[in-house]
Each structure stands twice: as structure tokens, then as C-alpha cells.
Amino acid sequence: MSNENKEVLLSVKNMHVVFKVGRRRVHAVNGVSFDVYKGETFGLVGESGSGKTTVIRTILGINDLTSGNIYFKDNLISGKLSRRKKRTLKKQIQMIFQDPAASLNERANIDYIVSEGLYNFKLFNTEQERREKVVKALTDVGLLEEHITRYPHEFSGGQRQRIGIARALVIEPELVLADEPISALDVSIRAQVLNLMKKLQRDRDLTYLFIAHDLSIIQYISDRVGVMHNGYLVELADANEIYANPLHPYTKSLLNAIPQPDPKTERFRVRGVYESTDIHYESGEWIEVTPGHFLLGTPEQIKEWTKK
């Protein structure tokens, strides 16, 4: 499938994010560029601390962009925006946070938490309609109507995470930035939520930018996958391609470390495969090695990595 005639919904161009911590500077994101097509699921994976959350927080304007540009539907959304534009974006782009406990208002009950967006954007006509939407959103993610009056601390970890998902999806956004949205769920509810997200994607042409550490899930759900390491995007390709033909050493070590649900395989797992790669990324170039398959590296490195 060619990517050329697909509509680009979100475009990140040369994103740099630097945090100042005392006198130290943390280069969290270094020149990251990628496009997300309308209706696709773009998976972002990589080392803990590689900058994945920072990328999506910066897209949302929660973190400041140090340099670079971000476009949504061909409109520049980085930099100063009018209040009206900000409001529209808030409805169009929703985020599901990595840490459900920290992102839910502890003093509000579930009814209010899930309704907040509905109130903000006046997405209902009658009280009954609002209530129905909330109950539907909760049951869609496997929660019960009786949960509606409860407070976040009265839920299990996975139940809280599902509240975060219900809250984001209920207002029918166009783009969902999902930061580890299903990490705290058991495999069956995970399957249920993934099926729901896929269904919404088919019905509403929803687009997902999906971060997860579980690479089996990324493989299953994503159309394309980007791999981050140390604040750099080091490889990007179609999901099938990257799993069948990983080229970057970091991608390889990542795929190699996926634990498999099989005690025999795990018992005979070879240890020590996760040696950290010692590559100076700043001298690398972003090169398309085969159509749609990008690698960060110097010409020599790329030659080395792509030789059979």
C-alpha cells in the first residue's frame, strides 16, 4: 500500500524539546519528524525515557516546543493560538494519559469526570441524553452503570484507566493521543478495548497515535510504527515490515526482548541480548531505505545495517 495519496492529519516537523533543570539541559526530543495519516493507527515505541510522552504532550501544547513545527489538518498548531482555536483543538484532539491515577480529579465522581467534555463542548440536549452517553461510554469499556457515583480512589488500577479512556472517547474526537492506554488492563479487557478502538476507527475514521511498551499489542493494532531511543526517532516503517525486517540495532534488541506467553520459550531465553546501543545519533541522517521504511544513521551505518 502506498502512503503517498493518503491524507496527512498530523505532521510533526523537526521537533526539538529541551527541558532546563537547574543548570542542566535535558534534550528530551531531538529533531523528530513524522506524519500521521487520517484513519490510521501510528504506534510509537521505545525505551523508557526516550521522549514518547514528551512528543505527545508537546503536540497538545502541554510542553513547550523548543523548535520545529506541528501541523494538524495543514494548520500550524504550535506557537501562539487564539482561544477559539485552542478550544476547537481540544475537542478534535484528545489524550489518554499514561498515569490514570494522576490524571483523574480525585474529588469528582465518575459521572462528572466522564461528562466534563460533554459539558465543555455542549454535546447533549437533555440531561437524559447526557446520562445515556456516559453510561454507554462506561459500558463500552467494560465498566458497570453502578460505578457512576463512585470516586477514582474506589476503583482498581485497570478500572481507573478505563475511566480515562471513556472520558476521552465520549466527546468523539478526530485524533486520539493514547499514552499507554491499556497497560493496566488484563488481556481480555485489553482485547475488548482494542476491539472498541478499532470499531470507532472504522465507524468514525478516528486516528490514533498509540504509545505502548507491549510490542505484541503494537504489532496487532498499528499500521505504522516509529521507534524512539534517547530522544531520537531511529526507525519508522509499516508495522508488518518493522516486525519482519527490523534494521536498526536498537529495534532489534527491543523485539528480541519481548517476553512470550510460553514458559518453555522463556526458560530457554538467551540472556544479555539487551546490550545498549552506543551510537552517536546526532551525526545520523533520516534516510528512506526502502519505500516507507526510514532509518536514522550515517551512510556507513546504514550500509552495514541493511546488508543481508
291 touches Mg ion (CB under 5 A):
no
Window 85 to 104, contacts with ligand ATP (CB under 6 A) = 98
153 touches other proteins (CB under 8 A):
yes
> Whose Cβ is closer to other proteins: residue 47's or residue 174's?
47
60 touches other proteins (CB under 8 A):
no
Phi and psi based region of residue 9 (left: phi greater than 0; alpha: psi -120 to 50; beta: remaining): alpha
> Whose Cβ is closer to Mg ion: residue 62's or residue 273's?
62
E strand spans, the chain: 8-21, 24-37, 41-46, 67-72, 75-76, 93-96, 175-179, 207-211, 224-229, 232-238, 285-290, 293-297
Window 112 to 151, contacts with other proteins (CB under 8 A) = 139, 142-144, 146, 149-150
Residue holding cell 487564539? Answer: 82
Residue selected from 158, 181, 246, 249 as contacting ligand ATP according to rule CB under 6 A: 158
For the CB of residue 98, give the shortest distance to Mg ion in the complex, in Å. Answer: 5
Which of these segments, 3-11, 19-27, 87-95, 294-302, binds other proteins (CB under 8 A)?
19-27
28 touches ligand ATP (CB under 6 A):
yes
Window 263 to 292, contacts with other proteins (CB under 8 A) = 263-266, 269-271, 273-274
186 touches Mg ion (CB under 5 A):
no
Contact 307, 289 (CB under 8 A): no
Question: Which residue is at the shortest CB distance from ligand ATP?
Answer: 158
Give the up-direction half-sphere exposure of residue 185: CA atoms within 13 A in the CB hemisphere. Answer: 26
Residue selected from 37, 112, 220, 305 as contacting other proteins according to rule CB under 8 A: 220
> Whose Cβ is closer to Mg ion: residue 110's or residue 135's?
110
| Cell reading at 272 | 544479555
157 touches Mg ion (CB under 5 A):
yes
Of residues 38, 54, 145, the one with CA closest to residue 95: 54
Spatial distance between the Cα atoms of 88 and 180, rounded to a whole number of angstroms? 25
For the CB of residue 171, give the shortest distance to ligand ATP in the complex, in Å. Answer: 24
Sign (positive or negative) of CA dihedral 96, 99, 105, 111: positive
Window 16 to 35, contacts with Mg ion (CB under 5 A) = none
Which of these segments, 69-77, 114-122, 250-258, 298-306, binds other proteins (CB under 8 A)?
250-258
Task: List all residues 6 or more positions away from 89 whose beta carbon is below 8 Å from its beta carbon.
Answer: 72, 77, 81
Greatest alpha-carbon span in the chain:
64
Backbone angles phi, psi at 178, to 5 degrees: -110, 110
Spatial distance between the Cα atoms of 70 and 35, rounded to a whole number of angstroms? 10
Contact 150, 127 (CB under 8 A): no
| Cell reading at 11 | 505532521
Residue selected from 80, 83, 261, 278 as contacting other proteins according to rule CB under 8 A: 261
For the CB of residue 102, give the shortest distance to ligand ATP in the complex, in Å. Answer: 13
> Whose Cβ is closer to ligand ATP: residue 51's or residue 173's?
51
226 binds, options Mg ion, ligand ATP, other proteins, none, Cβ within 5 to 8 A by partner type: none
78 touches ligand ATP (CB under 6 A):
no
For the CB of residue 213, give the shortest distance to other proteins in the complex, in Å. Answer: 5
Q: What residue ranges bind Mg ion (CB under 5 A)?
A: 53, 98, 156-157
